[in-house]
């Protein structure tokens, strides 16, 4: 009986909800990182070749003064929503931790929730920063080899 009452008190704790929300945010960040790798995609060489070919066609169109083709928007995948939800859940965890701290609940839950939420936000930011750096390295390598692209 006392154990059921303790679980009920714990479920009404803002700090416990902060910990759960922060942990969910951290899991969403890791799912966002790993998830898209399970989708079927062409090889990296094919993707790089298509990107280089598109750059070549765009350069020729610009050189010849031809108009740009109409852009078709890419479909939005479910991973875009996960990428938005992860930092939002991290912020919610931090806010719940602050509420728990203001209400003088168990300080451990507030610290754990804030830690999980902050970790989710930082990991999310670092992941996108790493992708940006990798994209820039790829773009620089394509530009360095632009002479090979235009050779006949």
Please check whether residue 104 lies inside any domain of the structure: yes
Residue 72 lies inside a defined structural domain of this protein? no
| Proportion of the chain above pLDDT 90, given as a percent | 34
78-96 CB burial, b ≥16 within 10 A, e <16? eeeebbebbbebbebbbbb
pLDDT band of 133, cuts 50, 70, 90: very high
What is the rounded average pLDDT for all residues in the chain?
A: 83
Flag the least confident range among 52-56, 87-91, 105-109, 134-138: 52-56
Tokens of 113: 């929730």
Specify if 73 maps to a domain: no
Helix (H, G, I), strand (E, B) or coil at 75: coil
DSSP state of 36: G
Query: What number is the average pLDDT over the span 57-79?
Result: 79
**35: its two tokens:** 């998830």
Is residue 46 in some structural domain?
Answer: yes
Does the residue 81 lie in any domain? no
The answer to whether position 124 is within a domain reads yes
Give the number of other CB atoms < 10 A from CB of residue 39: 8
Q: State yes or no: pLDDT of 7 exceeds 70.
A: no
**What is the per-residue pLDDT for 35?**
80
Q: What angle do CA 141, 147, 152 make, to 5 degrees?
A: 135
Give me the number of domains the chain comprises. Answer: 1
Using DSSP, state whether 77 is helix, strand or coil. Answer: coil
Q: What's the whole-model pTM score?
A: 0.67
The answer, yes or no, to whether residue 90 has pLDDT greater than 90, is yes
The verdict on residue 76 lying in a domain is no
- Residue 36 near residue 127 (C-beta atoms within 8 A): no
Q: Is 80 among the domain residues?
A: no
Place 1 in a pLDDT band, splitting at 50, 70 and 90: very low
Full residue range of the structural domain in which residue 38 is found:
2-66+86-150
Residue 128 CA, chain-centre distance (Å), reads: 6
């Amino acid at each position: 009986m006392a154990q059921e009452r303790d679980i009920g008190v714990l479920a009404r704790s803002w700090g416990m909800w902060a910990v759960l929300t922060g942990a969910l945010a951290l899991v969403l960040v890791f799912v966002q990182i790993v998830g898209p790798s399970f989708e079927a995609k062409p090889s990296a060489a094919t993707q790089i070749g298509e990107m280089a070919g598109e750059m070549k066609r765009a350069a020729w169109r610009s050189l010849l003064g031809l108009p740009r083709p109409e852009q078709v928007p890419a479909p939005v995948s479910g991973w875009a929503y996960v990428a938005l939800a992860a930092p939002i859940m991290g912020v919610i965890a931090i806010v719940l931790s602050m509420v728990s701290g203001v209400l003088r609940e168990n300080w451990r839950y507030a610290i754990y929730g804030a830690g999980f939420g902050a970790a989710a936000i930082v990991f999310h930011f670092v992941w996108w920063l790493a992708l940006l750096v990798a994209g820039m390295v790829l773009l620089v390598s394509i530009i360095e080899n632009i002479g090979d692209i235009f050779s006949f």
